A and B are shown apart, each in its own frame.
Chain A
Amino acid sequence: MYDVLIIGSGPAGYTAAIYSSRAFLKTILISGFTPGGQLTTTTEIDNFPGFPKGIMGPQLMLDMKVQAERFGTEMITDEVQTIVKNTDETFTVTTGNSSYQTKTIIVATGAQAKEMGIAGEEQFRGKGISYCATCDGFFFRDKQIIVVGGGDTAMEEATFLTKFASHVTILHRREEFRASAIMLERAKKDPKISFITNTVIESFSGDMKLTGVKLKNIVTGETTDMPIDGVFAAIGHTPATAFLKGVVVMDDKGYIQVRGMKLATDAHSQTSVEGIFAAGDCVDMRYRQGIVAAGTGAMAAIDAERYLEGKTTT
Chain B
Amino acid sequence: MADITVTDKNFDEEVLKSATPVLVDFWAVWCGPCQTQGPIIEEIANSFAGKAKVGKVNVDENPQTAGKYGIMSIPTIMIFKGGTVAKQLIGLQSKEMIVSELNKLI
Contact = CB atoms under 8 A, between A and B. Distances in A.
Given A79-B94, A126-B90, A139 B72 contact: yes
A128 interface: yes
B103 interface: no
Interface in B68-99: 70-74, 76, 90-96
A209 B72 contact: yes
Tell me what chain B mostly uses at the interface: helix, strand, loop, or mixed: loop
Q: Which of A42, A128, A139 has the most CB of B within 10 A?
A: A139
Given A34-B33, A34-B92, A135 B70 contact: no
A209 B88 CA distance: 14
Nearest to B72: A139
A11 to B, nearest CB: 14
Interface in B17-54: 28, 30-36
Nearest to B34: A135
A174 interface: no
Given A34-B92, A79-B94, A128 B32 contact: no
Nearest to A229: B72
A58 B72 CA distance: 21
A76 B72 CA distance: 31
Interface string A113-140: 0000000000001111010101110111
Interface residues of B, number: 24
Given A33-B94, A79-B94, A127 B33 contact: no
B59 interface: yes
A127 B69 CA distance: 11
Contact of B73 (A34, A39, A79, A135): A135
Nearest to A124: B72
Given A96-B96, A126-B90, A58 B73 contact: no
Interface residues of A, number: 29
Nearest to A41: B32
6 contacts: A42-B32, A79-B94, A126-B76, A134-B32, A138-B59, A209-B72
A264 interface: no
Nearest to A35: B36
Interface string A76-92: 01010000000000000
B32 A208 contact: no
Contacts of B72: 126-128, 130, 136, 139-140, 209, 230
Given A33-B93, A57-B32, A135-B33, 18 more contacts: A33-B92, A34-B33, A35-B36, A40-B32, A40-B35, A41-B33, A58-B35, A79-B94, A126-B73, A127-B73, A128-B72, A132-B73, A135-B31, A135-B73, A138-B28, A139-B72, A208-B70, A209-B70
Interface in A13-65: 33-36, 39-43, 57-58
A58 B32 contact: yes
Q: Which of B28, B36, B60 has the most CB of A within 10 A?
A: B36
A77 B91 CA distance: 17
B76 A132 contact: no
Contacts of A42: 32
A8 B19 CA distance: 40
A139 B74 CA distance: 9
Contacts of A43: 30
Given A40-B35, A41-B33, A136 B70 contact: no
A35 B35 CA distance: 10
